[in-house]
């Protein structure tokens, strides 16, 4: 039996996911089923729980039978999805933070192209991620998506860096990686102009505050335990990044999907074990894992 097991007090769903799931569950109290455009949360165990209540994840609107309402998840969608939905009822659970980001990107794009100018809009995010697709859709795809600083030379090869540049981040990216990317952009602009870009480079702080505070506190939590069990769905990109962060500061970090993945030989009797997870990992799953660990 380990010496102690503690659940990360900051772990659990972010506000956007709590809101989306709450609305889906409220709807399903009075309806047999609800179609969700994409997985409402990147966590298999939570998806199974919601599927038992009638939530059906589909890849596109074509998979939703005529007349059935459709839920838009916290990641948001491009305008084309709303147009395609036509008169179909939409339960729009786009997170207010993402909604604000979509609007900011539209305004920035208009500024960058005012009076015939041709500035560049850069989005720091995962290529193909639903939130990024929703952001790109706000500007008809006219933005450069960069996943990391190493991609910059190729991504900016056609950009006119003598013009203004505005940069936004997907809400769940690492604040440190975003800073590194912005420094890379400033250097690339300086190399072209011969002087720092100054006010011609606008960096928007759009990493979600809840995510940023998770990044800040998780390392501390991982350090304060002998071993860490990090619970997250296989498809959660935020889970992958937060897990790596934990493992960097505490090499005895193990990533699992549920307690069935735990190997008791990972732990020693004198260990204090920390249990944490992604912003898509439900609290109930963390509690279940903690109970299992206490019984080892
Ligand atoms: S991470 Fe932040 S922005 Fe993204 S859905 Fe959650 S609360 Fe909203």
Question: How much is the average pLDDT of 244-254?
Answer: 95
At 70-107, the pLDDT tens digits run 999 999 999 999 999 988 999 999 999 999 999 999 99
- For the domain made up of 97-170+173-206, the CATH class stated in words is alpha beta
Report which of 97, 112, 123 is spatially closest to residue 204, judged by C-alpha positions: 123
- Average per-residue pLDDT in the chain? 95
User: Has residue 22 got a pLDDT over 90?
Assistant: yes
User: Has residue 1 got a pLDDT over 80?
Assistant: no
Q: Cα torsion at 35, 37, 40, 45 (round to 10°)?
A: 70
Written as six digits, the tokens of 293 are: 């660990």
At 117-139, the pLDDT tens digits run 999 999 999 999 999 999 999 99
What is the band of 236 on the pLDDT scale with cuts at 50, 70, 90? confident
Q: Do domains 15-95 and 97-170+173-206 have the same CATH topology?
A: no
Question: How much is the average pLDDT of 289-294?
Answer: 96
N residues, the chain: 296
User: Has residue 3 got a pLDDT over 90?
Assistant: no
Percentage of the chain lying above the pLDDT 70 cut: 100
Strands ordered across the beta sheet of 253-256: 4-7, 272-277, 227-231, 253-256
- For the domain made up of 4-12+210-294, the CATH class stated in words is alpha beta
User: Has residue 226 got a pLDDT over 80?
Assistant: yes
CA 163 to ligand 1 centroid distance, Å: 31
Q: Where are the domains of the chain?
A: 4-12+210-294, 15-95, 97-170+173-206
Ligand 1 atom with least separation from CA of 210: 2
CA distances from 228 to 7, 25, 147, 269 (A): 10, 32, 27, 14
Distance CA 228, CA 215 (A): 15
Find out whether the beta carbon of 229 lies less than 6 Å from any atom of ligand 1.
Answer: no
Report helix, strand or coil for 273. strand
Find out whether the beta carbon of 171 lies less than 6 Å from any atom of ligand 1.
Answer: yes
Place of tokens 């002998």: 226
Q: What angle do CA 166, 131, 161 make, to 5 degrees?
A: 20
Rg (CA), the chain: 21
Distance CA 56, CA 71 (A): 10
What is the band of 2 on the pLDDT scale with cuts at 50, 70, 90? confident
Ligand 1 atom with least separation from CA of 208: 2
**CB environment 103-135: b (16+ within 10 A), e (fewer):** ebbeebbeebeeeeeebbbbbbbbeebbbbbbb
pLDDT at 62: 94
CA 168 to ligand 1 centroid distance, Å: 15
Percentage of the chain lying above the pLDDT 90 cut: 88
Active-site residue, selected from the candidate residues 46, 77, 131, 147: 131
CATH number for the region 15-95 comes to: 3.40.50.11270
**CB environment 166-176: b (16+ within 10 A), e (fewer):** bbbbbbbbbbe
Ligand 1 atom with least separation from CA of 96: 8
At 164-185, the pLDDT tens digits run 999 999 999 999 999 999 999 9
Question: How much is the average pLDDT of 16-43?
Answer: 96
pLDDT at 91: 97
pLDDT at 61: 95
Pocket test for ligand 1, best of 12, 13, 17 (most atoms within 8 A of CB): 17
Distance CA 84, CA 79 (A): 9
Does 291 participate in catalysis according to the annotation?
Answer: no
CB of 192 closer than 8 Å to CB of 161: yes
CA 3 to ligand 1 centroid distance, Å: 35
Q: What is the pTM of this model?
A: 0.90
User: Has residue 235 got a pLDDT over 90?
Assistant: no
Place of tokens 């199974």: 48
Question: How much is the average pLDDT of 200-209?
Answer: 96
CB of 170 closer than 8 Å to CB of 126: yes
What is the band of 296 on the pLDDT scale with cuts at 50, 70, 90? confident
Find out whether the beta carbon of 185 lies less than 6 Å from any atom of ligand 1.
Answer: no
């Amino acid at each position: 039996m380990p010496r102690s097991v503690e659940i990360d007090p900051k772990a659990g769903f972010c506000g956007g996911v709590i809101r989306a799931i709450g609305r889906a569950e409220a709807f399903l109290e009075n309806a047999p089923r609800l179609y969700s455009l994409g997985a409402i949360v990147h966590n298999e165990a939570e998806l199974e729980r919601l599927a038992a209540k009638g939530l059906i994840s589909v890849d596109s609107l074509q998979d939703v039978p005529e007349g059935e309402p459709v839920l838009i998840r916290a990641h948001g969608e491009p305008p084309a999805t709303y147009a395609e939905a036509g008169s179909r009822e939409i339960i729009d659970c786009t997170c207010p933070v993402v909604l604000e980001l979509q609007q900011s990107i539209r305004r920035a794009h208009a500024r960058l192209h005012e009076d015939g100018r041709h500035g560049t809009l850069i989005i720091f995010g995962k290529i193909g991620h639903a939130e990024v697709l929703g952001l790109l859709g706000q500007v008809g795809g006219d933005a450069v998506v960069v996943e990391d600083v190493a991609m910059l030379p190729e991504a900016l090869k056609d950009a006119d860096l003598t013009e203004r540049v505005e940069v936004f981040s997907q809400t769940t990216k690492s604040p440190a990686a975003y800073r590194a990317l912005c420094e890379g952009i400033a250097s690339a602009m300086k190399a072209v102009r011969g002087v720092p870009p100054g006010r011609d480079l606008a960096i928007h702080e759009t990493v979600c505050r809840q995510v940023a505070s998770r990044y800040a506190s998780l390392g501390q939590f991982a350090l304060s335990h002998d071993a860490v069990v990090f619970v997250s769905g296989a498809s959660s990109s935020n889970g992958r990044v937060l897990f790596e962060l934990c493992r960097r500061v505490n090499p005895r970090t193990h990533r699992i999907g549920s307690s069935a993945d735990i190997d008791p030989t990972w732990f020693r009797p004198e260990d204090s074990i920390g249990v944490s997870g992604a912003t898509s990992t439900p609290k109930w799953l963390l509690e279940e894992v903690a109970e299992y660990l206490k019984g080892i």
